[in-house]
């Protein structure tokens, strides 16, 4: 089988996934240890038996709607490469907006102290620490398996971060922060069954936001008071259609300057809230 034949087979095999040609190219590039853009320059190159076997196995996993990132084992986020597996939510490009906003607000501060709540793969914490090496970054997650992935990712990227296992901000009691960041679970429990097959393969713990999708926002709005410095700022990612409800929760809890920012796709995505300036 040549590269051209493998790509044709892959595109046909993955006809029911969203981007069959792109996925076939990425999987073949991984099997051959060859950049995706180089494949088209070598269409007649034959695959070795081992490469062909590896490629066909990956195609079957993707056909079964296993997320591409889990098959490849990595995902790029905010300029860093992260290991991802079924223990963690796959970082999305829209979450980079949260990082950009936080970095802009933290720019005037020297050695800011930052907490990433529900860290998952460690994406947000590592992005912040990589961009601001002087920052003192803490990260929490309830899942020990997710924390193991996050710690590995931090080590791989040379990011010195303090990871703590526990529920939201409970492990951070007694500590105060200039900034709290979170991408909490925000899908309504009743909507989980309707998600794309790939998303349903991700950890339910990282998706299920309770009956109305707002369970974790309520807790963040209430508990952040104990961990934020006066004048501290909180950023939280939002689900579709949640901007007004979540803003109301934080305003009712005494936060000021509550506003919502659009992501790179133009959707309301990140809540910003200031605590008693």
Taking the C-alpha atoms of 160, 164, 168 and 171 in order, what is their torsion angle to the nearest 10 degrees? -120
Two tokens, residue 100: 């950009």
Q: What is the mean pLDDT of residues 133-162?
A: 98
**Is the predicted pLDDT of residue 94 greater than 90, yes or no?**
yes
Name the pLDDT band for 275 (thresholds 50, 70, 90): confident
Mean pLDDT on 59-68: 98
pLDDT at res. 276: 80
In the chain the domains, ranked by start, together with CATH numbers, are 3-64 (1.10.8.10), 78-275 (3.40.50.150)
- On whether the CB atoms of residues 140 and 169 are closer than 8 A, the answer is yes
Q: State how far Cα 203 lies from the chain centre.
A: 12
pLDDT digits (tens, 9 = 90+) for 46-55: 999 999 999 9
Note the pLDDT tens digit of each residue in 208-217: 999 999 999 9
pLDDT score recorded for residue 277: 67
Residue 156, pLDDT score: 97
Residues 184, 215 contacting (CB under 8 angstroms): no
Residues 235-273 pLDDT 10s: 999 999 999 999 999 999 999 999 999 998 899 999 999
Query: Vertex 134, ends 131 and 136: CA angle to 5°?
Result: 100
Section 165-194 average pLDDT:
96
Over range 75-100, report the average pLDDT.
97
pTM, 2 dp: 0.94
């Amino acid at each position: 089988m040549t590269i051209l034949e493998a790509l044709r087979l892959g595109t046909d095999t993955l006809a029911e996934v969203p981007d069959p040609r792109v996925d076939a190219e990425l999987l073949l590039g991984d099997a051959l240890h060859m950049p995706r853009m180089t494949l088209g320059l070598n269409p007649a190159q034959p695959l070795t038996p081992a490469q062909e076997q590896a490629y066909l196995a990956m195609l079957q996993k993707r056909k079964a709607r296993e997320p591409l990132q889990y098959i490849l084992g990595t995902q790029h986020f905010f300029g860093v490469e992260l290991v991802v597996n079924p223990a963690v939510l796959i970082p999305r490009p829209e979450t980079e907006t949260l990082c950009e906003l936080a970095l802009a607000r933290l720019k005037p501060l020297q050695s800011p102290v930052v907490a990433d709540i529900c860290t998952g793969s460690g994406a947000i914490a590592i992005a912040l620490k990589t961009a601001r090496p002087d920052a003192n970054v803490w990260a929490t997650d309830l899942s020990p398996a997710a924390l193991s992935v996050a710690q590995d990712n931090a080590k791989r990227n040379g990011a010195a971060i303090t990871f703590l296992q526990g529920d939201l901000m409970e492990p951070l009691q007694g500590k105060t922060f200039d900034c709290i960041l979170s991408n909490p679970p925000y899908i309504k429990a009743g909507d989980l069954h309707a998600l794309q097959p790939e998303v349903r393969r991700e950890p339910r713990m990282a998706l299920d936001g309770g009956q109305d999708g707002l369970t974790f926002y309520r807790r963040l709005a209430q508990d952040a008071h104990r961990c934020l410095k006066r004048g501290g700022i909180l950023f939280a990612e939002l689900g579709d259609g949640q901007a007004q409800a979540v803003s109301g929760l934080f305003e009712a809890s005494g936060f000021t300057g509550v506003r919502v920012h659009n992501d790179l796709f133009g959707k309301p995505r990140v809540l910003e809230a200031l605590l008693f300036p």
